[in-house]
Amino acid sequence: MHDLVSATHSVTMSDAEEPTTTAKAPFDNPNGDIILRSTIDHVDFHTFKVILSLMSPVFKDMFTLPQDGLQPGVSSVPVIPVAESSTTLESLLLLCYPAATPTFDGFDNAKAVIEAAKKYEMQPVLDRAADLAMSQFLPTHFLELYALSCRLGWQHHAQTAATQALEIKNLGRPSTEFESMRDITALDHHRLLVYHHACGVAAQAVGSSLSWLKSTISSKDMPMWSQCRSCTGLTTLQIADFGKLKITQWFSDYLVSSGKELFERPCESTIRELAAYNRAVAKAAECNVCRNTVVESMDRFRASHIAQVKQVVANVKLVTS
């Protein structure tokens, strides 16, 4: 903090003579009693000491020091030169205002704001920035968010990002290198791989026994195990609480294929995108007995299958410490 305070007092003549512009609302308020000036693009942000003091012990301590060394600004309002860009400053300061609902321009902007919040020890801003980054970028930057969350100790966000990473097939292969791997420890990366593998094992096991199925009349009469003589194979499975029943060959093939795919990519999308589903339905349609109800029955089973996979995966926890 001492270095930061010292830096704010080191205003050169070239800084003072550099033309500046004023940030857009709400940071153009002439009633503000402090100005933060970006030394990168020379934009002035008019704000209030009380807000900065509440959010940051760094600024609170700074304001208790003699301010005659600070650069005078408009109407003698003190100016604090800071190293952040105006884009970073705008997002950072908006997060200081409880009524504001900012968005990040991109993931790099989010990371810059988070680093600035750490630098100025703005814990409330850091918390808001973390939640905002997760809500904006989880679908597209989950590996980067996992790395960031591990580095900053955000265990809940690390779990959420790791769960989203289950969308990646064969996560441990070299092709899954990602930019933020430079920011992550080998241990945290190993933990992500262990989590992905454990979820794959759990998801694959769902198809080895169907005892989790609800016992209903409709489930008992599904063509996959309703003793169609022309389709029934040699495989038997526990079906709900009906006991062990022989299942059709086309359904057995479906379970084997889905299990292999789920092991590599243990998420809902795998089941919905499974080519084996269409193969099973097409094979069943060749049977005079199975064809009448196979589409409806397989749709119902797929919905139950997805729900069960999501449940068992949710029970697997990422180790973060």
Residue 303 pLDDT more than 70? yes
User: Is 121 in a helix, a strand, or coil?
Assistant: coil
Cα–Cα distance for residue pair 245/213, rounded to 1 Å: 13
Predicted confidence (pLDDT) per residue in 148-201, tens digit:
999 999 999 999 999 999 998 888 766 566 777 778 888 898 999 999 999 999
pLDDT (0 to 100) of residue 229: 73
Predicted confidence (pLDDT) per residue in 111-152, tens digit:
999 999 999 999 999 999 999 999 999 999 999 999 999 999
The kind and range of the H/E element at 254 are helix 249-264
pLDDT (0 to 100) of residue 113: 97
pLDDT (0 to 100) of residue 10: 40
The confidence band for 98, taking pLDDT boundaries of 50, 70 and 90, is confident
pLDDT (0 to 100) of residue 175: 58
Task: Summarize the confidence of residues 13-34 as an average pLDDT.
Answer: 81
Q: What is the chain's mean pLDDT, rounded?
A: 87
Residue 81 pLDDT more than 90? yes
The confidence band for 6, taking pLDDT boundaries of 50, 70 and 90, is very low
Provide the b/e sequence for 129-138 (b: ≥16 CB within 10 Å).
Answer: bbebbbebbb
Token look-up 């526990």 returns 238
**For residue 199, what are the contacts with CB-CB under 8 A and spacing of at least 6?**
166, 266, 313, 316
Please provide residue 22's backbone torsions phi and psi, each rounded to the nearest 5 degrees. -100, 135
The larger pLDDT score, comparing residue 70 to residue 47, is at 47
